[in-house]
Amino acid sequence: MKNTSIRAASDKLIFALDADNYEDALSWVELLSGHVGMFKVGKELFTAVGPKIIESIKNKGQRVFLDLKFHDIPNTVARAAQAAVRLNVDMFNVHASGGSQMIKETVAASWACADKLGLPRPVILAVTVLTSLNKADLAEIGFSKDAGEQVLHLAKLAKNAGVSGVVASALDIAMLRAKFGDKFIIVTPGIRSAGAKIKDDQKRTLSAYEAVKTGADYIVVGRPISAVPEPLEACRQIVQEIADGLAAK
Ligand code: C5P
């Protein structure tokens, strides 16, 4: 039972593979394989090293979240998504503000591509409002709603267009869970435990325990694992917090 719950907890932990070169990225994958549920490949790493890091992660039997936040005309995003499906990524995301048509075409193209190749259909998430934007930033780019309303508006649009869930800040989990029900997938970065020693740029944070208890399906964690002296120990502690959060739900 204990092993089962630790396994279920580690499946919910996504490690942010924020390296700028292939060798460093691969050594994190080697260290953390089997201890986390997925590796997140973002813009920095993908731009620096390209698809070979995804192939290497998949060859080790691990899962990949391709965090490139696609946002372009529908045809371009649909085709980029098909390229992601061909790499057999398990999860990827698009900007909800690309609009319904972009999302619908992307979901349809991805499903068709996966089915044709006999691959599992990846989870497609939407990014609503970047957490770096405050009310003044939103007004500057012409959004009149406040951040919370804009998150809900874009999450609803994206859900109706076919995404399976959203990337959401810790502070929006409860609102999204209440509004969109249990099946809507919520992935939350900005995780910092109460006793965390590192001080950095993340402001609106929750602990792994609180995020999972509040309703996050997956949490994304980078520096609390990568920037501490004992990464594997930090990883194990976060998995234990997730298990405790699941048990407290
Ligand atoms: O190191 P840290 O745990 O802050 O890493 C969090 C990861 O999640 C980074 O890859 C970061 O780009 C990403 N992210 C975030 N906040 C968001 C969206 C994504 O920190 N709102």
Within 13 Å and on the Cβ side, how many CA atoms surround 249?
19
How many Å apart are CA 72 and CA 30, to the nearest integer? Answer: 34
Question: For position 197, what pLDDT does the model report?
Answer: 57
Give the single-character DSSP code of 165.
Answer: E
Mutate to test the pocket of ligand 1, among 220, 226, 238 (most ligand atoms within 8 A of CB): 220
Evaluate: CB of 131 within 6 angstroms of ligand 1.
yes
Residues forming the active site = 69
Q: Do the Cβ atoms of 135 and 146 come closer than 8 Å? A: yes
Cβ proximity of 225 and 231 under 8 Å: yes
Looking at residue 153, what is its pLDDT? 97
Round to whole Å and give the CA distance between 211 and 63. Answer: 21
Per-residue pLDDT of the chain (249 residues; tens, 9 = 90+): 567 799 999 999 999 999 999 999 999 999 999 999 999 999 999 999 999 999 999 999 999 999 999 999 999 999 999 999 999 999 999 999 999 999 999 999 999 999 999 999 999 999 999 988 888 999 999 999 999 999 999 999 999 999 999 999 999 999 999 999 999 999 999 999 866 656 677 767 899 999 999 999 999 999 999 999 999 999 999 999 999 999 999
Whether ligand 1 lies within 6 angstroms of the CB of 170 is answered as no
Provide the pLDDT for residue 135: 87
* Cβ-proximal residues to 132 (8 Å cutoff; 6+ apart), any chain: none
List the residue whose alpha carbon is closest to atom 9 of ligand 1. 16
Residue 201 pLDDT = 73
Residue 168 near ligand 1, beta carbon < 6 Å: no
CB 126 within 8 A of CB 104: no
Domain 2-248 has CATH 3.90.850.10: no
Dist CA 136 CA 115 (whole Å): 44
Q: How far is the CA of 189 from the centre of ligand 1 (A)?
A: 5
The pLDDT assigned to 138 comes to: 92
CA distance 116 to 102: 21
Query: How far does the centroid of ligand 1 lie from the alpha carbon of residue 222, in Å?
Result: 7
* Exposure b/e, 203-242, CB count within 10 A at least 16 = b: eebbbbbbbbbbbbbbbbbbbbbbeeeebeebbebbbbbb
